[in-house]
Amino acid sequence: MKPPPFDYLAPSSLEEALDVLAEKGGEAKLLAGGQSLVPVLNFRLAQPALLVDLNRIAELDYIDVDEAGAVRIGAMTRQRALERDPRIAASAPLLAETMPLIAHPQIRNRGTIGGSLAHADPAGELPVAAVALDGEIVLRGRRGERTVAAADFFVGLMTTAMTEDEMLCELRLPATPKRTGWSFREIARRHGDYAHAGVAARMTLADDGTIARARLVYLSAGEVPLSATAATGVLDGGAPCEELFAEAASTARGEVDPSDDIHATAEFKKHLAEVLTRRALAAAWERARAAQR
């Protein structure tokens, strides 16, 4: 199918785009990489009167890493740019590990980080990584700028805390604490497909080798990226070992809430989540120990 008719604007500055949003917010849709929006338009799931193309706004395309290792990423940064940037690999390795799991290189060449976060698909990897990394999302509108924790940004199925007159401008990631390991594991039918189940794990070790803080965030496990707080409660303060990881994984199985679909039952996806959790925790522990040496 083809989309219904719409007006088209391509502002060349953020200020111009914010003016348009302030005036036409309710009738307008922002176009970033178009990898999710264009199919949505073609299926007529959305019928905006106006498309506001962000692709000429160069000031939204940047990766900045400060001396402490904190990262700022502009909304129009392509997924492929993140995948290839050695500063991301060094300062936010979980994000670097996430990128190749998203779709195919052709899609990542166009798809942006802002589009992925704003689209808020519970099957998407970037929302999960942003929550696991304690990210913050910077929103701007004519009424001002505000920063929302990624954990609070995703409020429902493909629904975010952003209002119609706001634009997602930046993702901020705090510096990775010392002695931190990470892993993003998922299972899809074919590489590049949306995954049946997936988990981002992070683990920071205390000086004595116990787990100071763990983080487990799941995709396709509910309407938003799911933080398994009962499972991380099992891990925090514990001595890392396979038995502890198995107990946490079994607890996480009870927390995830996937749906049946034509390819897999919810029960099978819960099983996958448990298996992936064990594997992700083992890998994160290995990396945390390597960072300790």
Dist. CA 242–CA 250, nearest whole Å: 12
Matching residue, tokens 């119609």: 164
Dist. CA 293–CA 159, nearest whole Å: 42
Report the residue from 57, 75, 81, 94 that binds ligand FAD according to the rule CB under 6 A. 75
**Is residue 125 a contact residue for ligand FAD (CB under 6 A)?**
yes
CB atoms within 10 A of CB 93: 18
Of 2-10, 88-96, 103-111, 141-149, the segment contacting ligand FAD by CB under 6 A is 103-111
**Is residue 273 a contact residue for ligand FAD (CB under 6 A)?**
no
Of 119-127, 129-137, 223-231, 256-264, the segment contacting ligand FAD by CB under 6 A is 119-127
Dist. CA 113–CA 61, nearest whole Å: 10
Q: Which is nearer to ligand FAD, 95 or 167 (CB)?
A: 167
Report the residue from 33, 141, 181, 258 that binds ligand FAD according to the rule CB under 6 A. 33
| Cβ neighbourhood burial of 167 (10 Å; 0-12, 13-18, 19+) | buried
Q: How many CA atoms lie within 13 A of 228 on its CB side?
A: 33
Q: One symbol per residue from 168 to 187: x for binding ligand FAD (CB under 6 A), - otherwise; what is it? A: x-------------------
Q: How far is the CB of 66 from ligand FAD (least distance, A)?
A: 22
Dist. CA 277–CA 218, nearest whole Å: 9
**Is residue 284 a contact residue for ligand FAD (CB under 6 A)?**
no
Q: Which is nearer to ligand FAD, 219 or 288 (CB)?
A: 219
**Is residue 103 a contact residue for ligand FAD (CB under 6 A)?**
yes
Q: How far is the CB of 121 from ligand FAD (least distance, A)?
A: 6
**Is residue 288 a contact residue for ligand FAD (CB under 6 A)?**
no
Dist. CA 77–CA 267, nearest whole Å: 37
Residue 114: strand, helix, or coil: helix
Tokens of 10: 């391509």
Q: How many CA atoms lie within 13 A of 78 on its CB side?
A: 15
Of 26-34, 148-156, 232-240, 285-293, the segment contacting ligand FAD by CB under 6 A is 26-34
Residue 100: strand, helix, or coil: helix
Binding interface with ligand FAD (CB under 6 A):
29-37, 54, 75, 102-103, 107, 110-112, 114-116, 118-119, 124-126, 167-168, 194
